[in-house]
Structure 1
Amino acid sequence: MDPNANWPEGMYYDENAGAPSGSYEQTEQSFDDQVDGETELFSPLSDESDESDNEEDNPHIEPQLHAQKKKRNQKKNEKNRIVKQQTKKVLEVATTSQLPSHTSTESRSIVEFVKFMMGCPSRNFELPPAPTPQEVETWTHWADNRQEQITNHLDRYIERKNPKNATERKFLVTQELQRIKQMALPTKYSPARTVRNSNISVTVKNTCDHEFKSNGFPRITFDWSDPDLENSDWNSATASILASNWAKWTPKTRALPKDSNINVTGVIGRWLVTMKKETKRKALRKNGANITDPSVEQMNAKRKQSRKKVGELRFKTASTLFPDHPEIWACFTDVNGVSDYECDEDIRIPPRRINPAWRSAVFAELTHEIDVATIQLAPQRSKTSIAGRLARRGPREATNEEAEAEVVPMNYPVDAYAAEFLGQLSLLQRQQMGIQDDELAYSFTTALTDLRKKTRSSNSMIE
């Protein structure tokens, strides 16, 4: 029976994969047998500079042939150097700098790349099981075990070959290491199934799988219970490899701006937090728990009522300040235009604002400046209560789950919506939402400038 018959396209069954995942039962002698059998497999870990070193130490190669090969290798090495520089630059960006909005094109690309490598389709996907304690333990010691295995093999190999001098010994060691690099790794690796209808090629997936296998991973997954990358070595290493491979793949598929700084590992970490919540929710649902807890429903209803009152305050202020510009104050009639919030356990601390994924920055600034004016215009006896209702801590971005649950207000001017959100809509969807594409005669930016001339510069309670 063909062992490859039921495997996804582009994948293969590795007969020389060695011991089952989670153990290292392969003996040193079996490793020697594998090397002597000359089982070869393409490895991106092979270094062409090693070939050049081999030729210099081999006295049997003619000088002319050696010169030709050396020149050819120099060209290859220069080409590889340029590619590595470009990849390094993108990778540095990928693991540092700012965290883009979860609705941005880059964030969605990163998440889709991670899901693809784990065999998860875009919708209705099941996350792969978390690594078992045995898998984590094996992976933790994989590098040390592999190094010891190769060292012992080289000692026996050199003893059998009995080189005459140090130069010949160096040549034999280098040559044998090169052969080992090209062999199937002694790790049983289970690649995820290939997701169809994706713009990520099977070749890219195979390269990523090989890097995970080369680092001792039995498969690609995360510890979903501990999304903090600083707390989990497994998650941190997995996120780093995925970030590196995304950084290599994305320049070939899209043109990133020269000043584009994307924290890829940060995006992956943020997605893991969302997936932890989703995993917990699915577990409760699977166990028959009541997801619609009455206390949760009551809390949601209370928050919506609070947002409605905030919207009423803002509408009254906006219609007072901009009586001749209904296109401005009309944006404060919909409760869905008011950002949601999350409360702190300490009731003395103001709630944290959750920035709606659909709302533009200028509309958010105008909204918050109207809050400043609302407090200033409030009667003296009501200032404290109104300020308390409008008070918010520093904001945070909505998670993927929160963004999907948002009810986006309709019939707003185009300037009210974030560019990233608009980019996800088709022309028909924009028309259905009644988004007003015509540029406002009195824009949000102008309204914000005029309003700031009338209000004080800051108010710590609502910043």
Structure 2
Amino acid sequence: QSGPAGIGEHKFARISGNFFIRDAASDIFCCHAPVFSHEKPAPNPPHLPHHCSALSRSIVHFCKFIMGGTGFSFQLPRAPTPEEVKAWKTWVAERQATIEAYLKEHTSNEGETANMAELSESRRKRIHKAAQPEEPSFEPSLFSPEADIAMFFKTRCDDEFRSKGFPRVTFNWKLPSLRRSKWNAATADILADQWKFWYERHHLFSAREAPNIDVKAVIGRWIKYISKNPSKNCAQKDEDAGAKSEAAAARLTKRNTVAQLRLEALEVFSPRKPCTALTQMICAEAISDYEDDSDDPSGPPTRVIPFWRSERLTSLMHILDLASFQQAAPIRKKQLAALLVRKASRDANEDETAVQQVPHDLPQEAYNHQFLSDLAPLERHHLGVYMRPTHEATISEALDAFRELTEILPSSRAMCASDDTLSRKRRKTFAPIDV
């Protein structure tokens, strides 16, 4: 080809990304850097999504499905016995030895490389198939009648576990680590690959590209959580459905009461600036749910913070509780303490997030950024998310105002102490007045 302007009679060619310019007289190539680079940038490393994001919940949901359960009805399958782990490790070692012997025998005669990584995909598959030891007996989990995933994907996943020497699909729950347990690591690898296969064919609900996430890390995080909190994720077989419904109704009644108290507390701030948007945020659906302590049912419950709710709105809810208590008459404070006091707080888990009712028609600042990032523009429109009018009070403004109203400053404590002293002196000096 003719060279660019200014090169004259020189010829140039691109070899391995560089320009090699040839002088017509000497026929010598000189290396020059390319004018334009068409190399693709290095891909971003996979990230770990929030544990309650739509993708994390999808991965956990798929893992539960493969192990025979869904949602709150999921029960931990039996951990592998020492005999099962030993048999699986023996099977893997035999398979590896067979593959190495097969490679040594065939590559020496055929002139191929003995490195599996350098062989073609089709060649590796043929070697794996030829070197496959006898598969152990496999115990598939039951197909859950509540499942919303086709049986085809479970059968495909079970076949993959069977072909890798596993007797069944489970984790070592007593050692919930992917680094310290080879069984767990291999199980997570298979589940991650099978989830990707299912997701690519199932995510009709999203027009987004395939996510660049660390699926195996999501599974590792989940088995750590569920191993420590089995009671929150395993359904009680003897619990009646009617009892569950009654308990949920009782909690909703309390949440309605708490919402009304917070609305009354907000009236202290409303004369300063319009609070229509803030009032909409304080509804029963926006109030944290709670769970009783199984070890001490008579003690304060634990607050369960909804995933969809922003941190600022959560802070406002809690400071409104304080304002409600401070405004209450002394005779009512004990009743409010029993209603509002919580032992601790925790974030909602994957199952709780999946069934939580997200309130519609709230300003954008009421919703968690992570929650909104899972929604397409059409889904946000259907939810009724809107931008708060500029003349309306913001959550931050209400927070600052109530912090000033509820905080007891050191100077205020000194003033209160002097007022109490003066009141005691007056009670000694003046006789009570009959009315």
Alpha-carbon distance between aligned partners in 1 of 2:78 and 2:297, rounded to the nearest angstrom: 39
**Change in 2 beyond 3 A, CA 1:187/1:393:** farther
Pairwise CA distance, 1:446: 2.7
Pairwise CA distance, 1:364: 0.9
Pairwise CA distance, 1:393: 3.0
Q: Is the 8 A contact 2:176 2:223 kept in 1?
A: no
Q: Is the 8 A contact 1:339 1:355 kept in 2?
A: yes
* Greater helix share, structure number: 1
Match of 2:287 among 313, 338, 341: 338
* TM-score normalised according to structure 1 size: 0.53
Pairwise CA distance, 1:310: 1.4
- The match for 1:137 is 83
Pairs within 5 Å for 1:143-154: 143-144=89-90, 147=93
Unaligned runs of 5+ in 1: 1-84, 162-167, 459-463
Q: Is the 8 A contact 2:262 2:321 kept in 1?
A: yes
- The match for 1:188 is 135
Alpha-carbon distance between aligned partners in 2 of 1:325 and 1:440, rounded to the nearest angstrom: 10
**Change in 2 beyond 3 A, CA 1:261/1:229:** closer
Q: Return the structure number with greater relative CO, CA threshold 8 A, min gap 6.
A: 1
Amino acid at match of 1:437: M
- The match for 2:220 is 265
User: Is structure 2 residue 269 aligned with structure 1 residue 321?
Assistant: yes
**Partner secondary structure for residue 331 of structure 1:** helix
Alpha-carbon distance between aligned partners in 2 of 1:399 and 1:242, rounded to the nearest angstrom: 24
**Partner secondary structure for residue 453 of structure 1:** helix
Pairwise CA distance, 1:347: 5.0
Pairwise CA distance, 1:114: 3.9
Pairs within 5 Å for 1:275-294: 280=235, 290-293=240-243
How many residues matched? Answer: 340
Q: Is the 8 A contact 2:79 2:170 kept in 1?
A: no
Alpha-carbon distance between aligned partners in 1 of 2:358 and 2:174, rounded to the nearest angstrom: 29
**Change in 2 beyond 3 A, CA 1:381/1:120:** closer
User: Is structure 2 residue 335 aligned with structure 1 residue 385?
Assistant: yes
Q: Is the 8 A contact 2:188 2:216 kept in 1?
A: no
Q: Is the 8 A contact 1:314 1:374 kept in 2?
A: yes
Alpha-carbon distance between aligned partners in 1 of 2:75 and 2:299, rounded to the nearest angstrom: 39
Unaligned runs of 5+ in 2: 1-41, 117-123, 142-147, 200-207, 410-435
Alpha-carbon distance between aligned partners in 2 of 1:412 and 1:186, rounded to the nearest angstrom: 60
Q: Is the 8 A contact 1:414 1:437 kept in 2?
A: yes
Pairs within 5 Å for 1:82-93: 90=46
1:224-269 alpha-carbon deviations (Å, 9 max, x no partner): 9x6983699697345542577599999x9656599x9965411355
**Change in 2 beyond 3 A, CA 1:255/1:127:** closer
Alpha-carbon distance between aligned partners in 2 of 1:137 and 1:275, rounded to the nearest angstrom: 24
- The match for 1:352 is 302
Q: Is the 8 A contact 2:319 2:403 kept in 1?
A: yes
* TM-score normalised according to structure 2 size: 0.56
Q: Is the 8 A contact 1:110 1:267 kept in 2?
A: no
Match of 1:443 among 387, 394, 398: 394
Pairwise CA distance, 1:415: 1.6
**Change in 2 beyond 3 A, CA 1:342/1:238:** farther
Amino acid at match of 1:309: T
Alpha-carbon distance between aligned partners in 1 of 2:97 and 2:216, rounded to the nearest angstrom: 42
**Change in 2 beyond 3 A, CA 1:265/1:242:** farther
Q: Is the 8 A contact 1:111 1:268 kept in 2?
A: no
1:401-456 alpha-carbon deviations (Å, 9 max, x no partner): 32343233333222212234344556565455543334554321232233323333
Amino acid at match of 1:447: A
Q: Is the 8 A contact 2:263 2:282 kept in 1?
A: yes
Alpha-carbon distance between aligned partners in 2 of 1:457 and 1:246, rounded to the nearest angstrom: 57
- The match for 2:430 is none
**Partner secondary structure for residue 354 of structure 1:** strand
User: Is structure 2 residue 301 aligned with structure 1 residue 301?
Assistant: no
Alpha-carbon distance between aligned partners in 1 of 2:92 and 2:378, rounded to the nearest angstrom: 58
**Partner secondary structure for residue 268 of structure 2:** helix
**Partner secondary structure for residue 454 of structure 1:** helix
**Partner secondary structure for residue 141 of structure 1:** helix
Pairwise CA distance, 1:330: 1.4
Alpha-carbon distance between aligned partners in 2 of 1:215 and 1:457, rounded to the nearest angstrom: 65
**Partner secondary structure for residue 359 of structure 2:** coil
- The match for 1:312 is 260
Amino acid at match of 1:358: W
